[in-house]
Amino acid sequence: MDGRPSLRKEGGQNPAYRSTHYPLTHLERARPLLHLPYHELPVKEPGEPDTRSPLRFLLWLARHQKNLLFWNAFFGIGWMVSQALLWAAVGAAIDHGIARHSESGLLLWVAIVMALGLFQAICGSLRHQLAVTNWMNAAYRTVQVIGHHIARTGNSVTDEIQSGDVVNTVAADAMRIGGAYDVLARFLGSIVAWIVVSIILLSTSVELGLIVLLGVPILATLTVPLMTPLHATQAAQREAAGRLAALGSDTVAGLRILRGIGGEEVFLGNYRRQSDLVRRAGNRIATPQAGLESGQVLLPAVLTAIVTFLGARDVMRGTLQPGQLVAFFGYATFLTTPLRTAIEYVISTTRAYVGAGRVLRILTVEPLVKEPENPRPWPDCVAVLEDVRSGIRLKQGLLTAVVTENATDASLIADRLGRFAADTEGIMLNGVALDEFSVKDTRANIVVSEIEPRLFSGELRYELVPHRATSDAVICTALDAASALDILDALDDGLSTCVEERGREFSGGQRQRLSLARALLRDSDVLILVDPTSAVDTHTEARIALRLSDARRARTTLITTTSPLLLEHVDYVYVYREGRIVAEGTHAMLAAQSSDYRHIVLREDS
């Protein structure tokens, strides 16, 4: 097995991959008023990402949800500013109502306090839900662009990056990227609220106003020296965690082999050592991150102490009203929120930047198969698909077989004819080079099913037909052609059965037959099957051989196999050896005339 995901060749999308509504109850009610975009996640088409740098990728994500970000910022600013103005209203209530003994003034400012509190609650609720929406939109769009890129590049990504690291990027880094958009509205609200508070303080006391106006950014910049070590340590920890995930997935996948050779302890030791590296890398993150989070408490406390001291001094001097002092204390206390939010935003964006770098590591992998600049339209009928270099020629309506000495040659032929190889020179479709057609059209019309295709988790019905609605009767017809109805009969829930990860509840032969049924249900112009009966018994293989030609009548089908049971029922056979066709004809003809054929298929000595 070469590790390539067969799903890419039998459709390219996980059948268990379903769109789901993100529950935005309050936003859904507000949507007609605010014209908020409300759609299913994942989105239908994520777009083409900007991969020039991590920052450009993050900005590209922001552009795709700019309306949501705008409204989130709007409510975030309203939420923060209303908190700041609340203290001004409280101070005015003290000065106008209590100090001046004005009942009407007191009632007026109490009403204003209540109105500000209500406005703050509404803005806070909508801000929070929009923040989570932005988080999920950014995270899922990132996951989608990774998935689309992997579907386009095939095994190019896993040739350069371990599959476990790819999974870790999807599971962890995408969420970290989304986190930056979660905090963004609060950060913008913090900036506006800081400016509003500074203006209020300047209008009352130039000294206090300047302290707040200049002190907040100065205190915030004290955290900047911690950014570089935090960025470096997070990147190192993420790299170590990716290697650990890859090691774990490889170990689990090869557990049976490890037990067979007694190598469990060796791999356990490797996993322990890598786990220790991840732990130590995580500990190194603690120093700069603890400094930042401590700053979230210490720096605002310093500002609060300074403003409270100077305000109290002005009250004693008679230059400040008691209500204004209360308001000033409230401002100083409130300013802890903008400062802490600013530091939180720095931490979140640092994580997002590191995560975006990991994502770009995947997105910048070039595909083996290149798209033509001006692709030709796919023909209405595939009359002939041929490999001029080797001499293999597949005709419409014929069941053709290729016999090879080893599995590597069979996979090479399938990859060239299915356009999965980097070198497809000499592959012609109706007399036109195959690489002149778009990859999308090629994948839709030429399906390649590998010798050990994968099953994914999800409902069996959608595992077999991931791309379109198909009746159960049609599915059962394909299962019958693949001699797999007995598998269905043994399942309590039939086609509604939930398939476990990798289809582990099925035997190797059952997985192979289900994958054959999935390939037949694609009803593609060309179907290439790589040793489709290698894991089934002879009786089942005989039934498949009898039914396959009827299932593919009027279509073009190629089987790479050395099974006499299958070869007896195909229309034409090619014998491939050392890069070329050495014999061709029917099974009976080759069995009688070709020593190469008899050597490979009938196991006769040359």
| pLDDT tens, position by position, 492-535 | 888 889 888 778 888 888 999 999 999 999 889 999 999 999 88
In this chain, the answer to whether the domains covering 51-363 and 384-601 adopt an identical fold is no
Helix axes 54-64, 174-204, angle to 10 degrees: 80
Mean local confidence (pLDDT), 536-547: 90
Question: Of 48-52, 165-169, 221-225, 289-293, which gets the smallest average pLDDT?
Answer: 221-225
pLDDT at residue number 278: 74
User: What is residue 432's three-state secondary structure?
Assistant: strand
Strands (E), 535-592: 556-560, 572-577, 580-585
**554, two tokens:** 């009027």
- Cα 15 to Cα 207: distance, rounded to the nearest angstrom: 65
CB atoms within 10 A of CB 35: 9
Residues with Cβ < 8 Å from 544, sequence gap 6 or more? 481, 482, 483, 513, 516, 532, 533, 536, 566
Give the right CATH number for 384-601 from 3.30.1490.20, 3.40.50.300, 1.10.10.10, 1.10.3720.10: 3.40.50.300
- Distance between CA atoms of 184 and 507, rounded to whole angstroms? 50
d(CA 98, CA 239): 62
Does position 559 have pLDDT exceeding 80, yes or no?
yes
Evaluate if residue 589 carries a pLDDT over 90. Answer: yes
Tokens at 8, concatenated: 């890419």
Secondary structure of 443-497 as H, E, C letters: HHHEEEECCCCCCCCEEHHHHHCCCCCCCHHHHHHHHHHCCCHHHHHCCCCHHHC
What is the Cα–Cα distance from 173 to 184, expressed in whole angstroms? 18
Q: What is the pLDDT of residue 547?
A: 92
pLDDT at 436: 92
Per-residue pLDDT averaged across 481-502, rounded? 88
Domain boundaries defined on the chain: 51-363, 384-601
Lowest mean pLDDT among 215-219, 384-388, 415-419, 442-446: 215-219
Which amino acid, residue 350? T
The mean predicted confidence, pLDDT, of the chain is 80
Phi and psi for 535 in degrees, rounded to 5? Answer: -110, 10
Helices vs. strands in the chain: H and E counts, helices first: 23, 12
Q: Over the stretch 376-403, which tens digit does the pLDDT of each residue have?
A: 999 988 899 999 998 999 999 899 999 9
Q: Before 42, cis peptide (omega within 30)?
A: yes
Helix (H, G, I), strand (E, B) or coil at 582: strand
**Paired tokens of 445:** 């019309």
Q: Which two tokens stand for residue 167?
A: 């999974």
Residue 261 has pLDDT above 70, yes or no: no
For the chain, what is the radius of gyration of the CA atoms?
Answer: 33
> Does the pLDDT at position 485 exceed 50?
yes
State phi, psi for 591 to the nearest 5 degrees.
-60, -30
The predicted-structure confidence for 560-580, as pLDDT tens digits, reads as follows 999 999 999 999 999 998 888
Q: What is the DSSP-derived secondary structure letter of residue 370?
A: P
Closest CA to 249 of 175, 165, 171, 173: 165
- Rounded-to-integer distance, Cα 332 and Cα 338, Å: 11
| 406 CB-near residues (< 8 Å, 6+ apart) | none
> Span 205-210, mean pLDDT?
72
The strand ranges marked E within 358-405 are 384-387, 392-395, 399-404
Cα distances from 237 to residues 220, 271, 301, 577, in angstroms, run 26, 16, 32, 49
Q: How far is Cα 10 from Cα 519, in angstroms, rounded to an integer?
A: 6
For residue range 63-74, list pLDDT tens digits in order. Answer: 888 888 889 889
Residue count (the chain): 606
pLDDT tens for each residue of 10-59: 444 333 333 334 444 444 444 444 555 555 667 778 888 999 999 999 99
User: How far is Cα 492 from Cα 530, in angstroms, rounded to an integer?
Assistant: 31
Question: Rounded distance, CA 109 to CA 123, Å?
Answer: 21
3-state helix, strand, coil split of the chain in percent (to 5) is 65, 10, 25
Instruction: Tell me the fold of 51-363.
Output: ABC transporter transmembrane region fold (1.20.1560)
Nearest-CA neighbor of 285 among 200, 330, 370, 347? 347
CA separation for the pair 564, 482 (Å, rounded): 18
